Structure 1
Amino acid sequence: MPKSRPSNSPHVTRRVAVSALFAMFAGSALAATEQQAIAYMRKVAKDMLNAHRQGTVASFRRAIQRHANVAAIAEYSLGQYRSKLAPGQKQAFYTGTATFMARYFADQSREYVVAKYEVGDAKPDGKDFSVQTKVFLMNGKAYTVVWRLSQRGGGFKVEDAKVMGFSLVYLQRGIFTSFLSKRNGDVAQLVSALNR
Structure 2
Amino acid sequence: MTWQLWQTPSPARRSSIIGLFVLVSLAFVAMPAYAARDEQAETFVNDIASEAIEILGREGFTPQALETKFRALFVGNMDVPRIGVFALGQYARTPTAEQKAEYLTLVEEFIVKVYASRLSDYTDQQFAVLSSQPKGNRGKEVIVSSQIEFTTGRAPVPVEWWLLRTDDGFKVFDVKVLGIWMAQEQRSTFISVIRNNGGNFSALLEHIETQIAQANQDRDVELTEADSAVATETIQ
TM range, normalised to the smaller chain? 0.7 to 0.9
Normalized against structure 2, the TM-score is what?
0.62
Q: Give the aligned partner of residue 118 of structure 1.
A: 128
Q: Give the aligned partner of residue 66 of structure 1.
A: 76
Cα offset, 1:138, TM superposition: 5.3
Cα pair distance change 1:80/1:44, threshold 3 Å: same
Aligned-residue Cα RMSD (Å) equals 2.4
Q: Which letter maps to 1:190?
A: L
Q: Identical aligned pairs, as a percentage? A: 25
Unaligned runs of 5+ residues in structure 1 are: 1-29
Q: Spell out, residue by residue over 1:32-62, the C-alpha distance to the aligned partner (whole angstroms, 9 max, x if none).
A: x812112211222123324444553333222
Counterpart Cα distance in 2 of 1:51 and 1:98: 19
In the alignment, structure 1 residue 190 sits paired with structure 2 residue 212: no
Q: Which letter maps to 1:47?
A: E
Cα offset, 1:193, TM superposition: 4.2
Q: Is the 2:194–2:201 Cα contact (8 Å) retained in structure 1?
A: yes
Q: Is the 2:193–2:203 Cα contact (8 Å) retained in structure 1?
A: no
Q: Which letter maps to 1:128?
A: E
Greater percentage in strand: 1
Cα offset, 1:104, TM superposition: 1.6
Normalized against structure 1, the TM-score is what?
0.73
Cα offset, 1:110, TM superposition: 4.0
Cα offset, 1:185, TM superposition: 2.4
**Among residues 12, 37, 41, which one is paired with 2:45 in the alignment?**
41
How many residue pairs were aligned?
166
Unaligned runs of 5+ residues in structure 2 are: 1-34, 214-236
Greater radius of gyration (CA): 2
**Among residues 161, 178, 181, which one is paired with 2:192 in the alignment?**
178
Cα offset, 1:137, TM superposition: 3.5
1:120-159 alignment to 2 at 5 Å? 120-126=130-136, 127-137=140-150, 139-141=152-154, 142-159=156-173
Cα offset, 1:144, TM superposition: 0.9
1:71-86 alignment to 2 at 5 Å? 71-86=81-96
Counterpart Cα distance in 2 of 1:114 and 1:74: 32
